[in-house]
Amino acid sequence: MKTKTKRPGSTATSTSRPVSVVTGGAGFLGSHLADLLLARGHSVVAIDNLVTGSTDNIAHLAGNPDFKFIKQDVTEFLYLAGKVDYVWHFASPASPIDYLELPIQTLKVGSLGTHKALGLAKAKGARFLITSTSEIYGDPLVHPQPESYWGNVNTIGPRGCYDESKRFAEALVMAYHRQHGIPTRIVRIFNTYGPRMRLNDGRVVPAFIGQALAGKPITIFGDGKQTRSFCYCSDLIEGIYRLMMSDTSDPVNIGNPHEMTMLQFAEEIIRATGSRSKVVHRPLPQDDPKQRRPDITLAKKLLKWGPQVPLAEGLESTIAYFRTKV
């Protein structure tokens, strides 16, 4: 196979390998996507400003001739020489602590960042996928949540910066799809966990595991009867890959429909870690959803996808990772 000499700014090492650009490529999910794409024969360009991402997540890819990292804010103009076949827009703060501390940046990456990423896809004739979120359903009045549900969102509440950035991003993606004919994909991600999450990012999985490993009380907000479902990162990334390679432009939920209360989940973490931690209760934050579970009927039908990793198995590898961080 004939390979090209890699020029400055070049996005590919071979004329035959598809080229994928991953915004937020040094983040928790973006780095796992980069791994999968490389394993499936892509050349990968990861773009990240490292506000919430970390080069530690991609350090194992250093020296890989088919991987390139660019430190850049995606709200700025994106220029890449050479071909681009796929644009995967993963960039965004994604935990409550992050988007409550960075509300303007969160809104900008959902609006300006999505606009710039779509512009890159348009210029290159690339297929485009955006990671939306179950948060667009807000505190849902329909359960479980199908893609046809329009949501119950407080636009001016503390979570509104994240919810509305993603709702706007979905609208912008569909506008580019209809106006410019760009092949676009929208994935609505439900709670996901796994190695490379930040210990202090405020999401329930690292919070509970971190507290349990440190022998501290596990903090539950409210009465603990609110529910969530948890999808392991490898399952999620596989579903997202299948969505990008599919023919549907409509939003698709990807997540694990196995639902449990926060009290049940805390007990599971205590068991899995062997911790002696006890549970303490704190007031429920404003607009915190009472229920969250995906209806994955579309994913099963269109993508032939469903979660494969049991919670106990996923927690084992996640806890092992966090033991190195505590």
Please identify every residue annotated as catalytic: 162
- Which of 285, 109, 291 shows the shortest CA–CA distance to 191? 291
Structure tokens at 141: 């009045």
3-state secondary structure of 267: helix
For residues 256 and 69, give the distance between their C-alpha atoms in angstroms, rounded to a whole number.
31
Say if CB 184 and CB 173 are below 8 A apart: yes
Distant-in-sequence, close-in-space partners of 34: CB < 8 Å, separation ≥ 6: 22, 25, 44, 46, 58, 61, 67
Q: How far is CA 117 from CA 78, 111, 185, 209, 267, in A?
A: 7, 10, 13, 35, 42
Range 53-58, long-range pairs (CB < 8 A, 24+ positions): 53/24, 53/25, 53/26, 53/27, 54/26, 54/27, 54/198, 55/26, 57/26, 57/27, 57/28, 57/30, 57/31, 57/196, 58/25, 58/26, 58/31, 58/34
